[in-house]
């Protein structure tokens, strides 16, 4: 194993990285405000109670380019319902009264820019957000954000896609929190089969960093979660959870809890 570079300027221990220690992590994605923020809070608590190790909270955006129809629909419903970034920070502060596991935001560059990058980073720290995923932020442009979020103790989480190829090692060496391995080309959504050669991608990651990696995009069944846990440090599930919210509305948290328990048990 080569000597791994220390991340320059780090003054804190990543809560995200430590949550992967000695276990495979199940990461649940929930779009904030679909159908309303009270249901979001109940869904988060149901997921945590049933074994979720990390919560990924989606801040709705009018043009979510990385998302498939399911999560696009959730974004539209949430925005029509009047959700705002400030209201979502309020949600996080309320959740932090009893939720201890790491929580990260997934949103888009325009959301952060329009809020004000430093203001957004400071609000993340104050509310208790541990990391940020920006799927439309090119790796080469992350320096516009990373120093600011590092200042406030928030990990800027990088994505590695099947198209990353010769950039995988470079991205891995500079990773924070965890690496989000995109399982398939295209947008989010459940898939019957994942055909990408994830093992070779993860092998390159392992050679270049000790940061954990989790696989997302297309995972919806216990069998898929088990397979991802065998080759990586965790599995990320979004569309399957959002479908439950779309189908059951305010009653969805009960179904989400049962679903998360099934997925987590498959990864043990």
In our burial notation (b when 16+ CB lie closer than 10 A, e otherwise), range 66-103 reads: bbbebbbbbbebbeeeebebeebbebbeebeeebebbb
What are the tens digits of pLDDT across the range 116-174? 999 999 999 999 999 999 999 999 999 999 999 999 999 999 999 888 888 999 999 99
Residue 244: per-residue pLDDT: 98
On the CB side of 152, how many CA atoms lie within 13 Å of its CA? 22
Within 10 A of 245 (CB to CB), how many other CB atoms are there?
Answer: 25
Domain boundaries, the chain: 23-152+218-266
CA distance 14 to 12: 6
Q: Report phi then psi at 45, rounded to 5.
A: -65, -35
Find residue 106's DSSP bridge partners.
Answer: 58, 133
Task: Taking the CA atoms of 219, 105, 259 and 33 in sequence, report the sign of the dihedral they define.
Answer: negative
Q: Among 3.40.630.30, 3.20.20.70, 3.40.47.10, 3.40.47.40, name the CATH number for the domain at 23-152+218-266.
A: 3.20.20.70
Are 133 and 56 within 8 A, CB to CB? yes
What are the tens digits of pLDDT across the range 52-78? 999 999 999 988 776 778 999 999 999
């Amino acid at each position: 194993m080569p000597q791994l570079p220390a991340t320059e300027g780090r003054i804190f221990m990543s809560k995200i990285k430590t949550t992967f220690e000695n276990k495979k992590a199940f990461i649940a994605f929930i779009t904030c405000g679909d159908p309303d923020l009270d249901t979001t809070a109940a869904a988060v608590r149901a997921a945590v109670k049933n074994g979720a190790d990390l919560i990924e909270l989606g801040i709705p955006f009018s043009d979510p380019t990385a998302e498939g129809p399911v999560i696009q629909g959730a974004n539209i419903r949430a925005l029509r319902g009047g959700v705002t970034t400030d209201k979502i920070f309020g949600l996080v502060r309320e959740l932090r009264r009893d939720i201890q596991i790491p929580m990260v935001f997934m949103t888009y560059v325009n959301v952060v820019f329009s809020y004000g990058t430093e203001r957004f980073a400071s609000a993340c720290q104050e509310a208790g957000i541990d990391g940020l995923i920006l799927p439309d932020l090119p790796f080469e442009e992350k320096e516009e954000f990373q120093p600011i979020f590092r200042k406030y103790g928030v990990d800027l989480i990088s994505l590695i896609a099947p198209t990353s190829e010769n950039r995988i090692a470079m991205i891995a060496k500079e990773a924070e929190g965890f690496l989000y391995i995109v399982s398939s080309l295209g947008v989010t959504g459940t898939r019957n089969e994942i055909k990408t050669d994830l093992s070779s991608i993860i092998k390159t990651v392992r050679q270049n960093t000790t940061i954990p990696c989790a696989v997302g995009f297309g995972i919806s069944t216990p069998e898929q979660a088990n397979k991802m846990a065998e080759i990586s440090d965790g599995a990320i599930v979004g569309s399957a959870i959002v479908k439950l919210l779309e189908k059951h509305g305010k009653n969805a948290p009960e179904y989400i809890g049962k679903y998360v328990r099934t997925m987590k048990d498959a990864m043990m």
